[in-house]
Structures are given as structure tokens and as C-alpha cells.
Amino acid sequence: MNQHKIYKTWAFLFTLPNIILFVLFFAIPAVLGLVFSFTNFNGFSGEFVGLDNYIHLLFHDEHFMGVIIRTTIFALIAPILGYLVSLGLALLLSDKDLVFGTVAKVLVYIPTLMSPVVSAITMRWLFGENFGFINHLLETIGLDPVKWSTDGYAAFIMVILVGIWGAGGFNMILILGRLRSIPPELYEAAKIDGASVWQRFRNVTIPMLKPITFLILLLGTISAFKEFAVIDTLTNGGPGMATTFYVLYMYRIGFERLLIGLASAGSMILFIILLVLASVQTKLQKGGEIS
């Protein structure tokens, strides 16, 4: 009995630091954020304003809906394109005829080591409108240079390209792991049945990759909704609002205009979006375990 109490004490002591951190840096900010979202708090003082912040964002704010739509488009397109590129990389670099597979994988992984800021710097240098290598290349082969930093569509495309490039190596490694775990017998059996290369890919590889595909797409979508560091450094949300995504917009409201109440309401809406995405993720992951 006494011994039991000792175990209990140690179990508690071992988890105590994490409990304190949870309360201090998650529970309190979460509750505080919810409270702020019903006030016009500006960092020093504030009054209760009910649902005004939510109503303002959803119905009266001139940019909010645009930001949501833009972020959603980004969060749908970027992960899908990124996945396709990573899948192509994984298939190509794991091909049995490739003589430098290991080196190739390491080299493709290298951009993943860059921080968001460093990769944004690299890309600004590469995509520079008047001095970048990409436009220089386009002009050399007789095409018009692209206005990467003054045309909204071009800037949006650039942000997507940067996302694909930055996450490609990481997702490739995830897919490679899954590819390796496909039993070779499956391919052998399909071969004996007379399946072509494409049929084998379609009926063996694709179904076997399903769980990791969902995982990559969902994680990509979630991180796209949280995107901040790269666009803050790469385009600063511009030109105009063309690449101002959700978190950057909330940062502007909360830290530059000091409308903390309004920004907190926006954060609560983001929280709900992430919660929905996460519940989809858990559902799919459970589904993935069964298959």
C-alpha cells in the first residue's frame, strides 16, 4: 500500500513539468484567446463587445472572406501538386535501373534542411523580377519575363512552387518508406496475371499508398492553413493582398494594428478549421490502419 503511494508520487513527479507547461502555455492562452475574442482588447484595456468581432470578420471585414478563399485555394492546390511531385520523385529515385539512387535521395532531401526564411531568401533571389535567374532563362529562350513580384497571380504561383520544392524531399522520404513495405509478391502475382506496368501501378502501388497519401495531403492542408514564415519573408503578403494568407492576416490585425480582440476571434475561427481537418485526419488514419 505504501509502495503504491510511492509509485503514484513518482508518476506524478515525472509528468509534472509537462502539466505545468500545459497549463501555462496552452490552457491559459487558449482560455484567454477565447475571452479576448469577445472584447475589443488592444493590449492594455478592453471592453466586452459580445459577438461583434466574429460578426465584423465574417460579414463586414473587407479582406477576411478574400483571405479565407485564397488560403483555401492554396491549401487545396499546394498539397495535391506537392504530393504528385513527391510521388514522381519517389518512384523515379527508387527505380531498380537507377545507379545513383542513394546519392540522389540525399541531394533531393537537402532543400528540406533550409529554414522557411532561408528558402524564401533563396527563392527571392531565383525569382527576382529584374535580376532573377528564372526570368533571365525565360528571356534567353525567347519568352517574356514573368512579373513574380508585381503580378498577383504570378506571386501566388511562385508561393505554390516554393511550397512544393520545400516539402518535396520530406514527402518523398515518407512515400519511399511505404513503397519499400509493399510485398514484392504482389507485383509478381500481378505480372503472372499479365498485368502491364501501368496496371500494376494502378492496381497495386496506388492502393498500397493510400494511407500515406491521405496523411501527406492532410498534413499539407493543415500546414498550408498555418503558413506564415515563408510568405512573410518571400512576398510579405503582396503584391496587394495576393499572397496574404490566414495567419499572416491575423498577424497584421493583432500585432500591427493591435486589434487583439479581432485577431483572437480570427484565431478561434482558424482553430475550428484545424479541428475539423484534424478529425478528418483521425478518421482516415483509423481507416488506414485497417486496410
Partner 1 sequence: MTIRKVFINLSALIVVFVFLFPVIWILLSSFKPASELFRVPLTLFPENWTSQNYLSAWRHTDFLLYFGNTMFIAIVSTILLVFISTMCGYSLAKYKYKWLNVVFICILSTQMLPTEVIMNPLLQVIRRLGLVNSLWGVILPSLGNPTAVFMMRQYFLTIPDEIIESARLEGASEFQIFTRLMIPLARPAIAALAIFSMRWRWNSYLTPLLVLTNPSRWTLQIGLRNLIGAENIEWHIVLPSALLSMIPMIIIFVLFQKQVLGIDLTSGGKG
**Cβ distance 179 to 100 under 8 Å?**
no
- Confirm or reject binding of residue 217 to partner 1 (CB under 8 A): no
Rounded least distance, CB 206 to partner 1, Å: 20
- Lay out the site mask for partner 1 across 53-82 (x = CB under 8 A, - = otherwise): ------------------------------
Q: How far apart are CA 229 and CA 223, in angstroms?
A: 11
Task: Count the site residues for partner 1 by CB under 8 A.
Answer: 89
- The residue with cell 482553430 is 271
Contact segment (CB under 8 A) with partner 1 among 6-14, 56-64, 148-156, 201-209 equals 6-14
Contact segment (CB under 8 A) with partner 1 among 11-19, 52-60, 187-195, 198-206 equals 11-19
Rounded least distance, CB 34 to partner 1, Å: 9
Q: Of 36 and 148, which has the nearer Cβ to partner 1?
A: 36
**What type of residue is 93?**
L
- Lay out the site mask for partner 1 across 142-181 (x = CB under 8 A, - = otherwise): -----------------------x--xxx--xx-xx----
Contact segment (CB under 8 A) with partner 1 among 47-55, 59-67, 120-128, 201-209 equals 120-128
| Cα–Cα distance list, 257 to 80, 84, 250, 252, 261 (Å) | 35, 40, 10, 6, 11
Report the residue from 51, 189, 275, 283 that binds partner 1 according to the rule CB under 8 A.
275
Report the residue from 67, 75, 87, 108 that binds partner 1 according to the rule CB under 8 A.
108
- Confirm or reject binding of residue 48 to partner 1 (CB under 8 A): no
Q: How many CB atoms are located within 10 Å of the residue 190 CB?
A: 18
Contact segment (CB under 8 A) with partner 1 among 50-58, 62-70, 74-82, 97-105 equals 97-105
Site for partner 1 in 243-262 (CB under 8 A): 247, 250-251, 254-255, 260
Distance in angstroms between the alpha carbons of the first and the last residue of the chain? 45
- Confirm or reject binding of residue 291 to partner 1 (CB under 8 A): no
